[in-house]
Amino acid sequence: MTTGQRSGSPIPLVGVEEEFLVVDAERGEVVPEAATVVDRARPALGTRVGGEITKLQVETRTDPCRSLDDLNVQLTEGRVAIQTAARSAGLRVIASGSPVLGRCVPPPMTEGPRQDRGTATFRGLHDELAICAVHVHVEQPDRDRAVLIGNHLRQHLPVLLALTANSPYWSERDTGYASWRTVTWGRWPVAGPPPYLTSAQQYDDHVDTLLDAGALVDHGTIFWDLRLSTKHPTLEVRVADVPVTATESAALAALVRALVVVAGEAVDRGDEGPQLAPELMRLAYWRAARDGMGGHGVDVVAGRLLPAPALAERLVERARPALDEAGDRERVETWLKWLATGGDGATRQRAAEALRGRLSDVVDAIATQTAPDVPEREESTAE
């Protein structure tokens, strides 16, 4: 997300970064051809496309948007551009939180001194970095206020994770989890929810401690699921698997922005947010990663188990005033209804395999939904 000027509207700007995997068009296996896709997509997207930490991944970015219709257009444009670029090279891109087919452990890393420092620091953790998320940036130039808003958002992170769970496969097998990306990512010393903090200074002090302890390569490697952006005046929510469709990413962005607005109003009333039991947060993350929207989740404030759809509906109700103000409620409610009938991304991936028992069908289904407006070069005839 590139920085935009605040126009005086109470509705913050929002931007999104999406990560994708590059696969061979015929075999469906992940391949280290991200640079090829980026180079071919750059004439269409410019700085809105780039590489990632591994050669298996491509990232697209939107500009800051006030309107979610505009955001959805940019998300769709990005997906169409990289899928078209991939197709021109005998490749495809897929919006999945984890690889379905192909060798991904260890992944081929992008070269550079920063990556080398990361490998020296994190060692074997780099072996399972072929995972893809979506990052939502919400305009929040007051860093102290952003930290306090983060205290309110922490309780919602497991529900946002369940809504977007889209990584059931790893090493060509079903893990039994809806979001294996979350399980993989949770091993890092700087992943998961941030601690409860009361000021930007305390936030910065925590980061300095992590740097001194050797748990970070630099300030950009704070991988908390909720963080102050190091590049933009934004609060960045990073908990979600990349959704299968652009429509889902836009709906997620609408919901996250509304939650930020509602939390900001609470902060302005003097509410610094709930202090949550760490063991309940860990439990809620695990349950959301395992079950997605197809099971139960943990209410981390009350400490009780509830159906995941009920937690999601309650979250939307909390955000409703801000959704109404921005004109986004129908978009988010339609998304929830669609998840109730079609299932989360993990459920849809498994449904594609169940038809014929072939993981190649999963890749085909994801690739088609990633950018529906890009025609397939030819139908797969592999038996």
113 pLDDT higher than 70:
yes
- Give the count of beta carbons closer than 10 Å to the beta carbon of residue 299: 18
1 pLDDT higher than 70:
no
Q: Is 10 exposed, middle or buried (0-12, 13-18, 19+ CB in 10 A)?
A: exposed
- Within 13 Å and on the Cβ side, how many CA atoms surround 343? 14
pLDDT, residue 9, reads 57
Q: What is the mean pLDDT of the chain?
A: 93
pTM recorded for the entire structure: 0.94
* Chain length of the chain: 383
Nearest to 239 by CA among 252, 221, 258, 257: 252
**Residues in CB range of 2: below 8 A, 6 or more apart:** 15, 47, 61, 63, 64, 232
**Which pLDDT band, with edges at 50, 70 and 90, does 329 fall under?**
very high
DSSP letters along 135-172, please? EEEEE---HHHHHHHHHHHGGGHHHHHHHH--B-EETT
Q: Which CATH architecture has domain 14-370?
A: 2-Layer Sandwich (3.30)
pLDDT tens-digit readout, 290-312: 999 999 999 999 999 999 999 99
pLDDT, residue 118, reads 84
* Strands 226-228 vs 234-241: parallel, antiparallel or unpaired: antiparallel
User: Mean pLDDT, to the nearest integer, of 278-291?
Assistant: 96
**Which pLDDT band, with edges at 50, 70 and 90, does 3 fall under?**
very low
Amino acid at 196: Y
* Strands 14-24 vs 173-174: parallel, antiparallel or unpaired: unpaired
Do the beta carbons of residue 175 and residue 168 sit within 8 Å?
Answer: yes
> What is the b/e burial string over 132-164, where b = at least 16 CB atoms within 10 angstroms of the residue's CB?
bbbbbbbbbeeeebbbbbbbbbbbbbbbbbbbb
155 pLDDT higher than 70:
yes
* Rg, C-alpha atoms of the chain: 20
95 pLDDT higher than 80:
yes
Provide the residue ranges of all domains of the chain, joining segments of one domain with +: 14-370
Residue at token pair 């085909």:
364
Residue at token pair 């992008």:
110
User: Mean pLDDT, to the nearest integer, of 108-136?
Assistant: 90
Cα 172 to Cα 221: distance, rounded to the nearest angstrom: 29
Cα 242 to Cα 236: distance, rounded to the nearest angstrom: 15
Do the beta carbons of residue 65 and residue 59 sit within 8 Å?
Answer: no
**Which pLDDT band, with edges at 50, 70 and 90, does 217 fall under?**
confident
pLDDT tens-digit readout, 331-383: 999 999 999 999 999 999 999 999 999 999 999 999 999 999 888 764 433 33
Cα 27 to Cα 252: distance, rounded to the nearest angstrom: 31
User: Mean pLDDT, to the nearest integer, of 59-75?
Assistant: 97
